[in-house]
Amino acid sequence: MPDQMAIREVAFGKITGVFKRHGAVSIDTPVFELSRETLMGKYGEDSKLIYDLADQGGEILSLRYDLTVPFARFVALHGVGNIKRYHIAKVYRRDQPQMARGRFREFFQCDFDIAGSYPSMVPDAEVLKVLVEILDDLQLGEYEIKLNHRLLLDSMLDIAGVPPQKFRPICSAIDKLDKEPWEVVRAEMVEEKGLPGHVADRIGEFVVLRGQPLELLEKLTEAAHPLAQHPDSAVALEELRTMFGFLQSMGALGPIVFDLSLARGLDYYTGVIYEAVLKGGNVGSIAAGGRYDKLVGMFSGKDVPAVGVSIGIERVFAIMEAQLRLQAEQQAGGTIRETETEALVASIGGGMQPRRMRICSELWASGIKAEFGYKANPKMPDQLGYALKQGIPYMVLFGESEVEAGVVKIKDLDAGTEEVVAEVGRGLDGSPSDA
Amino acid sequence: MPDQMAIREVAFGKITGVFKRHGAVSIDTPVFELSRETLMGKYGEDSKLIYDLADQGGEILSLRYDLTVPFARFVALHGVGNIKRYHIAKVYRRDQPQMARGRFREFFQCDFDIAGSYPSMVPDAEVLKVLVEILDDLQLGEYEIKLNHRLLLDSMLDIAGVPPQKFRPICSAIDKLDKEPWEVVRAEMVEEKGLPGHVADRIGEFVVLRGQPLELLEKLTEAAHPLAQHPDSAVALEELRTMFGFLQSMGALGPIVFDLSLARGLDYYTGVIYEAVLKGGNVGSIAAGGRYDKLVGMFSGKDVPAVGVSIGIERVFAIMEAQLRLQAEQQAGGTIRETETEALVASIGGGMQPRRMRICSELWASGIKAEFGYKANPKMPDQLGYALKQGIPYMVLFGESEVEAGVVKIKDLDAGTEEVVAEVGRGLDGSPSDA
């Protein structure tokens, strides 16, 4: 619907504004992915949601499922050494394929990624800075960015006594902690995934740890702390120390919450992981991402380290729409504006169409967004009603007397004031102004 | 590629700027079309280029082939009475399906349409005004908009003695006149399509008629002219008289060429038809459209008259790219800019990364598009080389002595000048400026 599209455009504008401010380029990867097999290897269970094209002769194609895998393929295929890119585009998933009438689903994703070999944590910090700027600019409400590190998670499981082959299933149980209480997650670990109770309890001691990044880091790096002693987590903590310093330099540390319970589902993350959530609400994550150093190598055999974030843009649209509907209800019109029209050129009396068109053209030529009525002899209440309904702030008005005097009235609908101004000279094509 | 995407963004920005100036709304129709049969009825021969999705349970879907049919379906489905909308999106066609390895093809289309019952020729004139503004704003070179009317074409064939069932095949022969000389087209009419030679010759007398709209209209509406006497073409000529008046009021008549040889291929046009071409070049049409009053009714049974134009946006990209490459070659850098970055924050000496980040953040906070080097201790020639290669106009520079003095140098790379300015106070997070 047009009002929803108008909201999308505002969101897209703000988000791409941030990307461009950071010197990111835009690339467009194909909607078609070459083979289902390539995709299957990346998405695991979820690959049943992939759309295939019919075999009409030629390669078997699928529609893209996300923007990260096509980006990794792009980097691999073109031998890109380093790139900072954004991509806002539709992805396609067969939602609820178990239903008889498999519904189709298409929705926008919005990704920002930096690929390339760089000094530790520099791109990671910039990705987070970009995320902070976007969430600040969108003004969706108070938010926090939960942050963890894959190596911390793995070390913590190792320390607790989880065998390596159970790291991923246990991680996916931990991942549920934002929705379920510890008791439920603990039960899943012990009853479903066969963890001894004392091992689960040890995990429980770690995952409650969350706090201001530098404070929690201080605590975890105390010599006696098991995470400071484990070789993998020691590396991770050192990386985080570097990154927190960078974030502080960029004024982006404020919304970060260091949270040992964060365990993003996707397998391909190798370093920092993060997830932004609105505080107080119950809307779930509005952005998420992390470092994935091995994904490009799955296509080319040659690793290109990368880090990125995906904005949950459809959720952002929904929140903005709700905010705007609330605002609109509290105001007179009661609708969200569909257009950006600044002026309606209106007239009283018959035979004024060419004149409305000419005056409108003068406004267009000056870069003013303007409309004229299409009816041959439109009634003033209809024209005023249209302007109010559409939220158009100004009307340019004229009737016989204004034509004779060579003037137009400019009505400010918000202020309720009217001003008479001299009409601008001649038609654009040089025809007399009463053409 | 990033530089091509940058060009696309410029083109999209200019074009949507015009649409918004005219108060058009944006709608997003699904990429999936529900059944191949619905599409087949609209595209005739070309329907072999439609992409089908595999049958994975559920309805059989196809990918959209253009934006006009989905728009007509949208208007029909939602019972829209009137709408002025634009849509820029990808469409999908199986190019050269006869080849063993059927290549996939996806490309952008850019459509503007006005649907609804309005006084004669008002929306038609605004669509053409929009087209003129777009072509002026894009600065692709000198252009003309060839214009004709479906009823004029049919009347002219009727007068020449063509039987009604041969109107469409003969129109498609006439359509080739922009590429083939009259003799070739005449031969097709006589030899392939079985028209008597004297009938073809009569058509030949009509299709050479082209000229300034008001002048040719004057000639065709002389009482003795057969087109003035035929009831259908008399209606068409009266419509054109109205529209030319409107276009004159909007200063948009200049690029219009009234051309009786214009015969657009698609069957669904019912009124004015037009096609924009660049003069002198050989790039073919860069925009085309017309009135189609019966397409919505094919979905709902209830006609909603409509008129629109489709910009050949991929061709526009190609022309702009060629123009920019030529410009770039004539300048120092020799490349098209991929980003809009205004300043590179550069430094001399080690340990400056946090400071580069902090200064960059201050620029971002001021809305300035800026980048900082990712290397721990970047060399000045590398930083300068990067700025020049990327076409970044300014560098913000500092080393030990600037840090001590609390200043930065601002280097204008175009002018080759340097200025020393006081560094802005403290870090964004309140940390001391030597953080």
Nearest residue of A to residue B362 by CA position?
A250
Per-residue pLDDT band for B29 (boundaries 50, 70, 90) equals confident
Instruction: Work out the minimum CA distance from B377 to partner chain A, whole angstroms.
Output: 10
Both A225 and A370 in one domain: the answer is no
For residue A30, the chain B residues in CB contact (below 8 A) are 104, 106
Which residue of B57, B101, B353 is in closest CB contact with A122? B353
Both A305 and A356 in one domain: the answer is no
Nearest residue of B to residue A248 by CA position?
B429
Question: Is A197 among the domain residues?
Answer: no
pLDDT of B40: 53
Question: Quick check: A248 and B431 CB within 8 A?
Answer: yes
Question: Quick check: A251 and B427 CB within 8 A?
Answer: yes
Question: Quick check: A54 and B56 CB within 8 A?
Answer: no
For A24, what's the count of Cα atoms within 13 Å in the CB-facing half-sphere?
Answer: 25
Interface probe with B: pick from A8, A355, A357, A362, most Cβ of B within 10 Å: A357
Report A:82-111 residues touching B (Cβ under 8 A): 83, 85, 90, 92, 94, 97, 99-104, 106
Q: Does the pLDDT value for residue B208 go beyond 80?
A: yes
Please report which helix (H) or strand (E) contains residue A358, including its range.
helix A353-365
Both A355 and A299 in one domain: the answer is no
Q: Read off the tokens for B244.
A: 């030319």
Q: Does the pLDDT value for residue B364 go beyond 90?
A: yes
Distances (CA, A) of A237 to A128, A213, B74: 17, 11, 54
A21 in a labelled binding site: no
- DSSP codes, A44-103: GGGGGGPPBBP-SSS---EE-S-SHHHHHHHHHHTT-S-EEEEEEEEEE---STTSTT--
When mean pLDDT is compared over A49-63, B7-21, B123-137, B254-268, the highest value belongs to: B123-137
Q: Read off the tokens for A317.
A: 């649209």
CB pairs < 8 Å spanning A and B: 227
For residue A338, the chain B residues in CB contact (below 8 A) are 25
Question: Is A214 among the domain residues?
Answer: yes
Both A105 and A56 in one domain: the answer is yes
pLDDT of B98: 42
pLDDT of A332: 58
Q: Read off the tokens for A146.
A: 């939960």
Q: What is the CATH number of the domain that holds B120?
A: 3.30.930.10
pLDDT of A100: 37
pLDDT (tens digit per residue) in B300-324: 889 999 999 999 998 999 899 888 8
In this prediction, residues B191-197 reach a mean pLDDT of 94
d(CA B432, CA B425): 8
Both A77 and A162 in one domain: the answer is yes
Instruction: Work out the minimum CA distance from B70 to partner chain A, whole angstroms.
Output: 14
Which stretches in chain A have pLDDT values below 70?
34-48, 57-59, 95-104, 265-266, 332-334, 424-435
A52 in B contact zone (CB under 8 Å): yes
Question: Is A140 among the domain residues?
Answer: yes
- The residue with greater pLDDT, A330 or B83, is B83
Both B352 and B222 in one domain: the answer is no
Instruction: Work out the minimum CA distance from B434 to partner chain A, whole angstroms.
Output: 10
Residue B96 gets the label, from left (phi > 0), alpha (psi -120 to 50) or beta, of: left
Q: What is the CATH number of the domain that holds A381?
A: 3.40.50.800
User: Taking the model in full, what pTM does it have?
Assistant: 0.83
Nearest residue of B to residue A428 by CA position?
B251
In this prediction, residues B187-198 reach a mean pLDDT of 95
For residue B6, the chain A residues in CB contact (below 8 A) are 25-26
Instruction: Work out the minimum CA distance from B87 to partner chain A, whole angstroms.
Output: 10
In this prediction, residues B187-210 reach a mean pLDDT of 95
Residue carrying structure tokens 């087109």: B227
d(CA B305, CA B283): 31
For residue B29, the chain A residues in CB contact (below 8 A) are none
Q: Which of A337, A321, A255, A254 shows the shortest CA–CA distance to A283?
A: A321
Both A22 and A163 in one domain: the answer is yes
Question: Quick check: B248 and A21 CB within 8 A?
Answer: no
Distances (CA, A) of A214 to A211, A218, A279, B64: 8, 6, 21, 52
pLDDT of A330: 79
Q: Read off the tokens for A111.
A: 């990704």
Residue carrying structure tokens 């996300």: A66
Which residue of A54, A106, A429 is in closest CB contact with B54? A54
pLDDT of A98: 42
For residue B254, the chain A residues in CB contact (below 8 A) are 429
Q: Which are the contacts of B427, defined by CB distance < 8 A and separation ≥ 6?
A: A248, A249, A251, B358, B361, B433, B435
Question: Is A375 among the domain residues?
Answer: yes
For residue A337, the chain B residues in CB contact (below 8 A) are none
Q: Which are the contacts of B77, defined by CB distance < 8 A and separation ≥ 6?
A: B299, B300
pLDDT of B161: 96
Q: What is the DSSP letter of B163?
A: -
Residue carrying structure tokens 């459209």: B289
Nearest residue of A to residue B366 by CA position?
A21
Nearest residue of A to residue B116 by CA position?
A374
Question: Is B413 among the domain residues?
Answer: yes
Both B312 and B351 in one domain: the answer is no
Q: What ranges in A162-291 are assigned the alpha helix state H? A: 167-174, 182-187, 197-207, 213-220, 226-229, 231-249
Q: Which of B278, B295, B327 is the last residue of a domain?
A: B327
A374 in B contact zone (CB under 8 Å): yes
- The residue with greater pLDDT, B141 or B265, is B141
CB B12 within 8 A of CB B139: no
Question: Is A393 among the domain residues?
Answer: yes
A129 in B contact zone (CB under 8 Å): yes
Q: Read off the tokens for B202.
A: 């009569």
In this prediction, residues B220-235 reach a mean pLDDT of 95
Question: Quick check: A367 and B85 CB within 8 A?
Answer: no
Both A369 and A314 in one domain: the answer is no
Report A:166-205 residues touching B (Cβ under 8 A): none
Question: Is A184 among the domain residues?
Answer: no
Question: Is B17 among the domain residues?
Answer: yes
Give the total number of structural domains in chain B.
2
Domain limits at B233?
Answer: 2-327
Classify each residue of B378-415 as buried b or exposed e, where b means 16 or more C-beta atoms within 10 Å of its C-beta: beeeebbebbeebbbebbbbbeeebbeeeebeebebee
Poorest-confidence range of A62-76, B246-260, B419-433? B419-433
For residue A5, the chain B residues in CB contact (below 8 A) are 25-28
Both A238 and A354 in one domain: the answer is no
For residue A364, the chain B residues in CB contact (below 8 A) are 21-22, 133
Q: What ranges in B366-428 are assigned the alpha helix state H? A: 380-390, 400-405
Q: Which of B303, B327, B351 is the last residue of a domain?
A: B327
pLDDT of B103: 44
Instruction: For helices A353-365 and B231-249, give the axis angle rounded to 10 degrees.
Output: 50
d(CA B58, CA B7): 40
A274 in a labelled binding site: no
Q: What is the DSSP letter of A413?
A: T
Per-residue pLDDT band for B127 (boundaries 50, 70, 90) equals very high
Both B391 and B249 in one domain: the answer is no
Q: Which of A327, A358, A390 is the last residue of a domain?
A: A327
Question: Quick check: B27 and A21 CB within 8 A?
Answer: no
Question: Quick check: B25 and A9 CB within 8 A?
Answer: no
In this prediction, residues B77-94 reach a mean pLDDT of 90
Q: Which are the contacts of A433, defined by CB distance < 8 A and separation ≥ 6?
A: A358, A406, A423, A424, A425, A426, A427
Please report which helix (H) or strand (E) contains residue B62, including its range.
strand B62-63
Both B195 and B240 in one domain: the answer is yes
3 state SS of A262:
coil
